[in-house]
Structure 1
Amino acid sequence: MDFSHSEAQQALSGLARKLLTDKVTPEVLGPHGSGGFDAPLWTDLAKAGVLDAALPSSVGGGGFGLLEQCSVLTEIGRAVAPVPYLSSITMAAAALAEFGTPELTERWVVPVLRGSRVLAVALPDAGAPCGFTAESTVDGPQLTGAQSAVPFAAFAHGLLVEAAAGDGHEVFLIDREADGVDIAAQHTVDHADAGLLELTGAPAVSLGDVGEWLRLRGTVGLCAQQLGVVERALELTAAYARERKQFDQVIGGFQAVRQRLADAYLDVEAVRLTLWQAAWRLSEALPAAEEVATAKFWAAEAGHRVVHTAVHVHGGVGIDVDHPVHRYFAAAKRLEFTFGGATAHLRALGTQLADTPA
């Protein structure tokens, strides 16, 4: 097991960091609780080759995979960049490239790689019931049901939706413009990019029983994004502690502050280790359900602690919604609960361990 980054990972993350550092500004991010998708930045990432590099060459990509995608997602987390890379590339485009037909690839994946389309994914959180059902008709599958707070659904052109079908579950592709599809924009803790997805007999195309494949990849990608968020939040907090003075001393010299920062550092490294372990196993097509649950537990639990440390050390400015550190707090809290929080994944891990023969 080798966690050192490949040349492709280093090149992609370096390119992504440069672009995001230059282009993600307070003006781009907008007021707290608004926006959530920067279309020009999405197009710039496509033109720079960041979107297509980590997809198979068979769909026009650079031939890389999940590890490279996680490197990009870490940089997106560091910049709290309002782009749908996780849902559109790591999850939806990768699934369509793997399980879709050439026609679906041409219609949906290629425009995403060009930065002209957005795809969203509606999956139930860990331990939650599925909110959609599929019915077979002479015209093909039709979906009915609802799910709230689907990430980036407010801007999506198409969505992958997991639905109960027969005795199991399948993932379906739906077109936003199709009959029976209604998406209402919703505000989340940090942005207004989510959507309430309601389907009433909406026509769909089945990709098969690939919900677990999508869920594992999406969860690992989310952990990578959380790594970038908490890593940068800790850097900002450490820098602030070296400059802020109380009683004529920098607060970084106080024992209690040093201990909080040290604990936060250990938490960040725990997120890093568990993320790359899970991502490596998935990239090698090895069983990884336990490792993914472990990584998401740490991304949620450690993410919670790190950003609370960031806010506490910053004091009053830490709760100012216009201060940069608050963006990291809000982003980390959202990622903490997406696809299920720490408790849900701890329960899932316990079930997996209990079911494993001694």
Structure 2
Amino acid sequence: MDFRPTEEQTAAAGLAARIFRDLATHERLAAAGSGSDAELWKALTSAGLTTAVEDVGLLGLVLLLEEQGRTTAQVPYAATCAYGILPLIRHGSADQRARLLPALGAGEAVATGAFPVRGRITAAPDGRLTGTAPVVPWLRGATHVLVPDADRSLWLVRTDLPRVETSAVETTAPWAAGRLTLTGARGERLGRGPQAYEDVLAVARTAFAGLQAGVCAGSLARAVEYTSAREQFGRPLSTNQAVMLRAADAHMDTEAIRVTSYEAAWRIDEGLPAGEHALTAAWWASEAGKRVVHAGQHLHGGLGADLDHPVHRHFLWGRQLDAYLGCGSELLAELGTLLAESPAQARAGVTSTNGRHREGR
């Protein structure tokens, strides 16, 4: 394993950090409410940070999403990349890539996904889809939504088509979420059935785990800054042993999320089996992530209860990612089932970027 970023990945992450730092300010985030920040989204796409995903790979995307998470920037970056750009690169036909990737890269189109599959959407033989997805992140501003049916085949659906209805849903974090209702809507098949679904799910879990690593790092950085400046009994709070231990635990949890998401991303980029690694990253992001954002609030003392304080956004995002990735017991049960299967089945589930399947080694 080699997690050292390439020059391209380092440059892209540095550029993303500058854009997020300059534009994802507390004042702008508060003004955005639950919607997307159009100016920030334009800045990201104009800088080529959406099209760059094809060059920097999933590991590069994880680095970029860490930077988004540090500021809880209000843009559908993770969703568009995980459910739009990467699935098209990895599973789309030449025609689909030529038609859809330019608009997604330019920010003219926004993608999201109704994941994971819950058996609520069925596909007729003619490709018409029926069913509901109760909560889809960033749906309100999306032009395309990636939908798995009950058989785990993937369909790309335009949200402006007839028989596609969306309605607003409020979630813990302001992710412009919505309810998707399909009543015989036309869908466009993507990839090769369940194999493509498992791959996209692993990619998405890894990407959102990387986002959680950034959310936790941002929360912890705020707590460190506050406890270093705030004095009690004539000395900084950070010199209190209980504070140091709480921060140290949060740091170790954050590093665990980061390293497991890096490993899963690296394996997927290399075309290696990664289903259980993506689940491991998701488990750490879910379980450890909520511990970290709770610690971030706690270390702020009374300020941590202020709903307008910047650290509260990290708390909301951390809890939302915990819910979105799935509770720890569910993820562990799925991981246990995966590991209990035969090696060929348990470690199959990830395809290389050219669509050719690689067996476990």
Question: Normalising by the residue count of structure 2, what TM-score does the alignment of the two structures yield?
Answer: 0.90
The answer for the alignment partner of 2:335 in structure 1 is: 349
Distance in 1 separating the partners of 2:168 and 2:99:
25
Residue identity matched to 1:135: A
The answer for the alignment partner of 1:49 in structure 2 is: 48
Distance in 2 separating the partners of 1:2 and 1:298:
20
Partner of residue 71 from structure 1, selected from 57, 63, 70: 63
The answer for the alignment partner of 1:170 in structure 2 is: 153
The answer for the alignment partner of 1:20 in structure 2 is: 20
Distance in 2 separating the partners of 1:109 and 1:341:
33
Post-superposition Cα deviations, 1:211-264, rounded to whole Å, max 9, x if no partner, equal 111100000000110111101111111111111122333211222111101111
Residue identity matched to 1:267: D
Distance in 1 separating the partners of 2:100 and 2:209:
26
CA separation of 1:339 and 1:253: change in aligned 2, threshold 3 A? closer
Contact 1:223 1:299 in 2 (8 A): yes
Contact 2:116 2:201 in 1 (8 A): no
1:204 maps onto 2:190 in alignment: no
Distance in 1 separating the partners of 2:208 and 2:222:
21
The answer for the alignment partner of 1:90 in structure 2 is: 82
Report SS of the residue matched to 2:39. Answer: helix
Partner of residue 186 from structure 1, selected from 154, 169, 175: 169
| Equivalent runs, 1:237-256 vs 2, <5 Å | 237-256=223-242
Gaps of 5+ in 2: 344-361
Contact 1:162 1:169 in 2 (8 A): yes
| Structure 1, 63-72 or 100-109: larger mean CA deviation | 100-109
Partner of residue 119 from structure 2, selected from 130, 134, 137: 130
The answer for the alignment partner of 1:293 in structure 2 is: 279
Q: CA deviation at 1:98?
A: 2.8
Distance in 1 separating the partners of 2:142 and 2:83:
13
The answer for the alignment partner of 2:92 in structure 1 is: 100
Provide the alpha-carbon RMSD of the alignment.
Answer: 1.6
Distance in 2 separating the partners of 1:192 and 1:241:
30
| Structure 1, 77-86 or 212-221: larger mean CA deviation | 77-86
Q: CA deviation at 1:345?
A: 1.1
Q: CA deviation at 1:36?
A: 3.2
Contact 1:69 1:90 in 2 (8 A): no
Post-superposition Cα deviations, 1:164-196, rounded to whole Å, max 9, x if no partner, equal 2xxx32100111111110000111112150010
Q: CA deviation at 1:275?
A: 1.1
Gaps of 5+ in 1: 56-62
The answer for the alignment partner of 1:266 in structure 2 is: 252
Residue identity matched to 1:26: H
Post-superposition Cα deviations, 1:264-293, rounded to whole Å, max 9, x if no partner, equal 111111111111111111111111111111
Partner of residue 311 from structure 1, selected from 286, 292, 297: 297
Contact 2:128 2:184 in 1 (8 A): yes
The answer for the alignment partner of 1:58 in structure 2 is: none
Partner of residue 117 from structure 1, selected from 85, 109, 113: 109
Report SS of the residue matched to 1:147. Answer: strand
Count of residue pairs brought into register by the alignment: 340
Residue identity matched to 2:41: W
Residue identity matched to 1:243: A
Contact 1:237 1:313 in 2 (8 A): yes
Q: CA deviation at 1:30?
A: 2.1
Report SS of the residue matched to 2:172. Answer: coil
The answer for the alignment partner of 1:2 in structure 2 is: 2
Contact 1:154 1:186 in 2 (8 A): no
Contact 2:84 2:104 in 1 (8 A): no
Residue identity matched to 1:336: D
Residue identity matched to 1:35: S
Residue identity matched to 1:42: W
Structure having the larger proportion of residues in strand: 1
Residue identity matched to 2:185: A
Post-superposition Cα deviations, 1:52-101, rounded to whole Å, max 9, x if no partner, equal 1121xxxxxxx331111111111111111111121112331221233223
Report SS of the residue matched to 1:206. Answer: strand
Distance in 1 separating the partners of 2:288 and 2:74:
23
| Equivalent runs, 1:222-241 vs 2, <5 Å | 222-241=208-227
